[in-house]
């Protein structure tokens, strides 16, 4: 069980293991994003969050979410995310991290209040710096029973 204390945690959800590895390295070089957890599917991302609700894993402050994944794409993940306990999810920020240059995806992301940003892969130091000014990323106190 995870103890009650202040954590920063970033959850990467992408089916591309190489991209996850690269993005994890970039994030680890930046102090504002904390511990990085990567999973290779939307379903595994939901499982991680359910475990965090139970206090078995660290609650993420931020989720980098790929759109185009097999079995459960990013849009489907968001629909399932909406069904989770709103008290738990209310301060988790979702950033769509994608290779999609489809204008419809960008426009769709703007219609979803849960989506904080829409950025193109791969991550870079500059993108992370920009994110820290655009969205509020701070440690939070998490309490688990």
Segments forming the whole domain that contains residue 123: 5-142
Q: 143 pLDDT exceeds 90? A: no
pLDDT for 2 equals 42
Q: 36 pLDDT exceeds 80? A: yes
Check which CATH number belongs to the domain holding 29 and give it. 3.40.50.2300
Taking the whole predicted model, whether its pTM rises above 0.85 is answered as: yes
Total of domains in the chain: 1
| Phi, psi angle pair for 15, to nearest 5° | -80, -10
Chain segment 89-105, per-residue pLDDT in tens: 999 999 999 888 888 98
> Which residue stretches of 36-145 are H helix?
42-53, 74-81, 86-89, 103-110, 125-134
């Amino acid at each position: 069980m995870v103890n009650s204390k202040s954590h920063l945690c970033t959850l990467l959800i992408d089916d591309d293991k190489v991209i996850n590895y690269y993005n994890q390295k970039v994030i680890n070089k930046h102090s504002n994003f904390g511990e990085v957890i990567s999973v290779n599917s939307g379903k595994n991302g939901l499982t991680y969050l359910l475990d965090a609700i139970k206090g078995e894993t660290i609650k993420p402050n931020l989720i980098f979410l790929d759109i185009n994944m097999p079995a459960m794409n990013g849009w489907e993940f968001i629909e399932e995310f909406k069904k989770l306990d709103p008290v738990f999810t209310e301060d988790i920020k979702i950033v769509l991290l994608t290779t999609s240059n489809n204008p419809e995806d960008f426009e769709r992301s703007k219609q979803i209040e849960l989506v904080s940003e829409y950025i193109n892969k791969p991550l870079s130091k500059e993108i992370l710096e920009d994110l820290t000014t655009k969205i509020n990323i701070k440690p939070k106190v998490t309490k688990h029973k």
